[in-house]
Chain A
Amino acid sequence: MTRSVLPRSIQDTPVLGRWISLARQGRVAVYTGKVELGQGIATAIAQIAAEELEVAVERIDIVPVDTDQSPDEGITAGSLSVEVSGASVRLAAAQARAALLQAAAARLGINADALSCVDGTILRRGTATELDYWSVSADVNWQQHITAQVPVKPVRDYSIVGRNTPRADLPAKLSRGGFIHDMSLEGILHVRIVRQPFRSARLAQLDEVWMKRYPEVAVLRKKDFLALVGCDEYLVHRAHEEAEKFVVWEEVPDLWRPADTPAARVVHLQSAGGTSTAGAQALCARYSRAPIAHASIGPSCALAHYQSGRLTVWTHSQGIFALRGQIVRCMALEPSLVRVVHVHGSGCYGHNGADDAALDAAIVAMEFAGRPVRVQWSREDELSRGPVGPAMSATVEAELDEVGRVAAWRLSVVSAPHAQRPGFGGYVNLSSAEALDSDQSPKRVEDLPEAAGGGASRNSVALYDFPNQEVRVQLETASRIRTSSLRSLGAHLNVFAIESAMDELSAMIGADPYEFRLSHLTDERCRAVLIGVAEMSGWPGGHSAGEGRALGMGVARYKNRGAWLAAVAQVAVDEEVRVERLWLCVDAGLIVNPEGARSQIEGGAIQALSWAVKEGLKIEDDRIPPLNWLSYPIVKFSEVPLIETRFVVDPAHQSLGAGEAAQGPVTAAIGNAASKALGARMRDLPLTRDRLLSFLLEN
């Protein structure tokens, strides 16, 4: 295998010793900049390192990601961790192995070609020498740069990558704790934040009666930032639960000013022009989704300690380096005096409250110098006050020619931005920064650029062979609802729209939606997953439209450059939409850990199901009301269908991230199945019981 271009992570951090260390006898420390979010990335990275170094995977220690010592690999997002960090660790490990064997050869006074390695022990023509990696490690120049000149192991020789490896982090989490929430520091102060109920809310009044009820709880107020601090977590928690009775917020007219919005972007693809056909059939359909909450089971948490002029923050953020940059800015500290350490958190599906909580903790720690502080968000704040996945609409206008092929296609997307992470666009983008200074709200909002896969525009280009394709993306920034990246970003609604429209178009000409898709599809790997899922599900099944039960399908390639996934859902519609079965066929290239990949795909599918039939934030007066699990329900055990997943694997193909591939296709499959079962098209997500009833009344 040859590589002409080094991965970005290696370009940024070229020194070998920044990636791999053999300082501990018998152990291999691997430094990565990608963080464990519950997706199992630490295990996959360990497998890759063990494979190249030829040591047992149990010897690998994935070092906690820390701004003081880890390579900066940006945000852990976009299903790129195996592709980017995995590729970087592979090169580093291959070069480390070569350097270690070279050092051993020098000691033995022979050529390195005669040497090999089994689990760190160095062999000479297959016989163990007295040397191992650790005994020769001191001879290696760990300051050397990674060059990609050293060949990596051929895939056919893999014995660790591609096999199931248990998650090293899971046992502790089952019965001992292992999350940031579980950290103990001596003398810790517990903190709850009384958050602004809406952006630019002014803290008008604090009732002193409240304070007197809790003499052990200190109140820290800085402008519109209000924190409760004390040694006894329960007292702080209880005072916080009562806050709304004693704190008065007010709206200051004109304090909130919407950010500028760039003009709509229009992309023309293969625009031949003049294809409008006389007598053609046309579709014009608008699809939408409501905003969606991240809804982690563990509300956001952060710890911070300001001591001797240095601030340390522990966080479950997806991007500790970007977060450090904004903490430095808000706290007006030297970057060298701020250290941000990643600690495992509850499941993370995008830019949630983690970063906000980290700044909360930093602000309080600076006021209580010398004492570690722990901020714990409430359930209501986790659902209502963190960034949310934006509402979107996507309108498809399409024409069919005389033979029933798509002759023209336009997709028009309207969405709030999908990327307002810390520092993005030059703005802080942390909620407490706005509480301290309302002028910190963004003045101009951009979305994620195409080079990063796009935000609202993600998967807006259909992968079908249409002679004409136009995509129009319009950002909306009038709302004060804080929106940012949620698993798959715009791909979720765009794929739902494209795949729903494909079903609607096929119905116009009485074609089978599967055949109709295949007839517009030349991408071989896409055809393979579609054909695979049709086989698995017994497509088209035995149900006619309007019978109350049906199969529906959806397919996409995530970001149009990631993993391919085709889904078929069996859905029953009575008083509600019930998903009874799901079949998934996936091509994610080389699979590092089959069970890990499967749980990412199936987990994504179940989350997509939950979004599709249950989830939508109801915005009231441009505010998100306080929510809990009764007012924002998610899927329960009894609502999870049987799922069958098949991977199409050609090891010659490079690994593609699996974490977000299911969101669009599964949602589309459910929507198409539900619409067929009902005999009428449902275009607005979520397909809740209330929506279904009002839809039936209208139609």
Chain B
Amino acid sequence: MSASVHFRLNGSDISLDDHGDEPLLFALRNRLNLKATHFGCGLEQCGACVVNINGQAKYSCTFSVSALAGSIVTTAEALPADPVGAALLEAFEVERAGQCGYCLAGILMSAYTLLKTEQHPTREAIVSVLDRHLCRCGAHGGILRAVERAAATLVDASA
């Protein structure tokens, strides 16, 4: 019998059977039916699978479920209910930041992680956080503008 792994996911307590080295990405998509987080390479090279684990942006394609015990995990599904997440979602829609959108959940989670700790990120800081994310459609400009817009909205809201 396999043991269970307990962690918090998007504000709820979760218990998953430990399937050995199964990465979080596969568990999210197939066992928890959370499909926002995407498979792009499985090699930590594209960023489509990035989620927030214990306050850090992490590749879920290689992060084993068994290593999650006691962790706090946030995926893009939780963004609408979070002030920072909601500001990002709105800004991405307003800026039309994206064409196909496949890379965006991962990008949003990196931006979310940044804005959680940095109220006034410079463009350089945003670029540096997003540089491990690939976008093939060339939506980079809109994505950067959207993260800046979300940051500005949050500053205005807290002023």
Q: Does any Cβ of A come within 8 Å of B70's Cβ?
A: no
Would you call B101 and A637 a contact (CB within 8 A)?
Answer: no
User: Per a CB cutoff under 8 Å, which of A38, A164, A604 touches B100?
Assistant: A38
Q: Please indicate the chain A residues that have their CB under 8 angstroms from the CB of B131 in the complex.
A: 636-638
User: Per a CB cutoff under 8 Å, which of B127, B137, B143 touches A38?
Assistant: B137
The residues in A between 233 and 279 inclusive whose CB is less than 8 angstroms from any CB of B are: 233-234, 237, 241
The residues in B between 111 and 143 inclusive whose CB is less than 8 angstroms from any CB of A are: 127-128, 130-131, 133-143
Query: For chains A and B in complex, what number of residue pairs have CB atoms within 8 angstroms?
Result: 173
Q: Does any Cβ of B come within 8 Å of A640's Cβ?
A: yes
Known: A174-B108, A234-B23, A347-B99. A379 touches B136 (CB 8 A): no
Would you call B144 and A602 a contact (CB within 8 A)?
Answer: no
Q: Please indicate the chain B residues that have their CB under 8 angstroms from the CB of A603 in the complex.
A: 99, 137-139
The residues in A between 375 and 405 inclusive whose CB is less than 8 angstroms from any CB of B are: 376, 378-379
Q: Please indicate the chain A residues that have their CB under 8 angstroms from the CB of B41 in the complex.
A: 299, 379, 628-629
What number of B residues sit within 8 Å (CB to CB) of A? 52
Stretch in B1-9, B73-81, B148-156 touching the partner: B73-81
Q: Does any Cβ of B come within 8 Å of A634's Cβ?
A: yes
The minimal Cβ–Cβ distance linking B35 to chain A, given in whole angstroms, is: 3
Q: Does any Cβ of A come within 8 Å of B87's Cβ?
A: no
Q: Does any Cβ of A come within 8 Å of B53's Cβ?
A: no
User: Per a CB cutoff under 8 Å, which of A164, A178, A610 touches B101?
Assistant: A178
Additional A-B contacts beyond A170-B93, A297-B103 (8; CB < 8 A): A174-B36, A174-B92, A174-B108, A175-B85, A177-B105, A295-B136, A346-B100, A349-B136
Q: When chains A and B are docked, how far (Å) is the Cα of A38 from the Cα of B104?
A: 12
Known: A599-B142, A636-B134. A298 touches B96 (CB 8 A): no
Q: Which 6 A-B pairs have the closest CB atoms?
A: A38-B100, A606-B138, A177-B35, A603-B138, A347-B100, A173-B101
Q: Please indicate the chain A residues that have their CB under 8 angstroms from the CB of B40 in the complex.
A: 297-299, 379
Q: Does any Cβ of A come within 8 Å of B59's Cβ?
A: no
Q: Does any Cβ of B come within 8 Å of A474's Cβ?
A: no
User: Per a CB cutoff under 8 Å, which of B42, B130, B133, B139 touches A237?
Assistant: B42
The minimal Cβ–Cβ distance linking B104 to chain A, given in whole angstroms, is: 5
Chain A residues in the interface with B (C-beta under 8 A): 37-40, 164, 166-167, 169-171, 173-179, 181-182, 184, 232-234, 237, 241, 295-299, 344-349, 376, 378-379, 595-596, 599-600, 602-607, 610, 628-630, 634, 636-638, 640, 642-643
Would you call B139 and A299 a contact (CB within 8 A)?
Answer: no
Q: When chains A and B are docked, how far (Å) is the Cα of A629 from the Cα of B42?
A: 11
Known: A175-B80, A599-B142, A637-B127. A379 touches B43 (CB 8 A): yes
The minimal Cβ–Cβ distance linking B125 to chain A, given in whole angstroms, is: 12
Known: A184-B33, A347-B102. A171 touches B140 (CB 8 A): no
Q: Please indicate the chain A residues that have their CB under 8 angstroms from the CB of B99 in the complex.
A: 38-40, 347, 599-600, 603
Q: When chains A and B are docked, how far (Å) is the Cα of A295 from the Cα of B23?
A: 24
Would you call B36 and A630 a contact (CB within 8 A)?
Answer: no
Would you call A175 and B105 a contact (CB within 8 A)?
Answer: yes
The minimal Cβ–Cβ distance linking A644 to chain B, given in whole angstroms, is: 10
Among B79, B102, B105, B136, residue most surrounded by chain A Cβ atoms (within 10 Å): B136
Q: What are 20 pairs between A and B in contact, CB < 8 Å?
A: A170-B92, A170-B96, A173-B101, A174-B108, A175-B105, A177-B35, A233-B29, A296-B102, A297-B48, A345-B100, A603-B139, A606-B141, A629-B46, A630-B45, A634-B134, A636-B134, A637-B133, A637-B135, A640-B138, A642-B141
User: Per a CB cutoff under 8 Å, which of A174, A349, A628 touches B105?
Assistant: A174
Q: When chains A and B are docked, how far (Å) is the Cα of A295 from the Cα of B137?
A: 10
Would you call A298 and B38 a contact (CB within 8 A)?
Answer: yes
Would you call B38 and A606 a contact (CB within 8 A)?
Answer: no
Q: When chains A and B are docked, how far (Å) is the Cα of A677 from the Cα of B25?
A: 46
Q: Please indicate the chain A residues that have their CB under 8 angstroms from the CB of B136 in the complex.
A: 295-297, 346-347, 349, 607, 634
Known: A233-B26, A297-B40, A297-B134. A640 touches B101 (CB 8 A): no
Q: Please indicate the chain A residues that have their CB under 8 angstroms from the CB of B42 in the complex.
A: 237, 241, 378-379
Q: Please indicate the chain B residues that have their CB under 8 angstroms from the CB of A166 in the complex.
A: 93, 96
Chain A residue with the shortest CB-CB distance to B143: A637
The minimal Cβ–Cβ distance linking A173 to chain B, given in whole angstroms, is: 4
User: Per a CB cutoff under 8 Å, which of A40, A169, A174 touches B89?
Assistant: A174
Would you call B77 and A175 a contact (CB within 8 A)?
Answer: yes
Chain A residue with the shortest CB-CB distance to B133: A637
Chain B residues in the interface with A (C-beta under 8 A): 19, 22-23, 26, 29-30, 33, 35-36, 38-43, 45-46, 48, 76-77, 79-80, 85, 89, 92-93, 96, 98-105, 108, 127-128, 130-131, 133-144
Q: Please indicate the chain B residues that have their CB under 8 angstroms from the CB of A602 in the complex.
A: 138, 141
Chain A residue with the shortest CB-CB distance to B139: A603
Q: When chains A and B are docked, how far (Å) is the Cα of A605 from the Cα of B33?
A: 36
Known: A38-B137, A234-B23, A607-B138. A177 touches B45 (CB 8 A): no
Q: Please indicate the chain A residues that have their CB under 8 angstroms from the CB of B135 in the complex.
A: 297, 637
Q: Please indicate the chain B residues that have their CB under 8 angstroms from the CB of A595 in the complex.
A: 96
Would you call B102 and A346 a contact (CB within 8 A)?
Answer: yes
Q: Please indicate the chain A residues that have their CB under 8 angstroms from the CB of B140 in the complex.
A: 606, 637, 640
The minimal Cβ–Cβ distance linking B12 to chain A, given in whole angstroms, is: 16
Known: A171-B93, A175-B108. A637 touches B102 (CB 8 A): no
User: Per a CB cutoff under 8 Å, which of A167, A170, A629, A638 touches B134?
Assistant: A629
Would you call A171 and B89 a contact (CB within 8 A)?
Answer: yes
User: Per a CB cutoff under 8 Å, which of B35, B38, B128, B141 touches A638?
Assistant: B128
Among B41, B43, B137, residue most surrounded by chain A Cβ atoms (within 10 Å): B137
Would you call A643 and B141 a contact (CB within 8 A)?
Answer: yes
Chain B residue with the shortest CB-CB distance to A607: B138
The minimal Cβ–Cβ distance linking B32 to chain A, given in whole angstroms, is: 12
User: Per a CB cutoff under 8 Å, which of B30, B100, B134 touches A233?
Assistant: B30
The minimal Cβ–Cβ distance linking B85 to chain A, given in whole angstroms, is: 8
Among B22, B29, B96, B101, residue most surrounded by chain A Cβ atoms (within 10 Å): B101
Q: Please indicate the chain A residues that have their CB under 8 angstroms from the CB of B33 in the complex.
A: 184
Q: When chains A and B are docked, how far (Å) is the Cα of A638 from the Cα of B143?
A: 13
Q: Please indicate the chain B residues that have their CB under 8 angstroms from the CB of A640 in the complex.
A: 138, 140-141
Chain A residue with the shortest CB-CB distance to B33: A184
Q: Please indicate the chain A residues that have their CB under 8 angstroms from the CB of B26 in the complex.
A: 233-234, 237
Would you call A167 and B96 a contact (CB within 8 A)?
Answer: yes
User: Per a CB cutoff under 8 Å, which of B19, B36, B92 touches A176?
Assistant: B36
Q: When chains A and B are docked, how far (Å) is the Cα of A676 from the Cα of B79?
A: 48
The minimal Cβ–Cβ distance linking A175 to chain B, given in whole angstroms, is: 4
Chain A residue with the shortest CB-CB distance to B76: A175
User: Per a CB cutoff under 8 Å, which of B30, B36, B79 touches A177?
Assistant: B36
The minimal Cβ–Cβ distance linking A474 to chain B, given in whole angstroms, is: 31
Would you call A637 and B130 a contact (CB within 8 A)?
Answer: yes
The minimal Cβ–Cβ distance linking B94 to chain A, given in whole angstroms, is: 8
Q: Please indicate the chain B residues that have their CB under 8 angstroms from the CB of A596 in the complex.
A: 96
Q: Please indicate the chain B residues that have their CB under 8 angstroms from the CB of A184 in the complex.
A: 33, 35
Among B30, B128, B130, residue most surrounded by chain A Cβ atoms (within 10 Å): B30
Q: When chains A and B are docked, how far (Å) is the Cα of A603 from the Cα of B97?
A: 11
Would you call B127 and A638 a contact (CB within 8 A)?
Answer: yes
The minimal Cβ–Cβ distance linking B78 to chain A, given in whole angstroms, is: 8
Among B93, B98, B100, B130, residue most surrounded by chain A Cβ atoms (within 10 Å): B100
Chain A residue with the shortest CB-CB distance to B48: A297
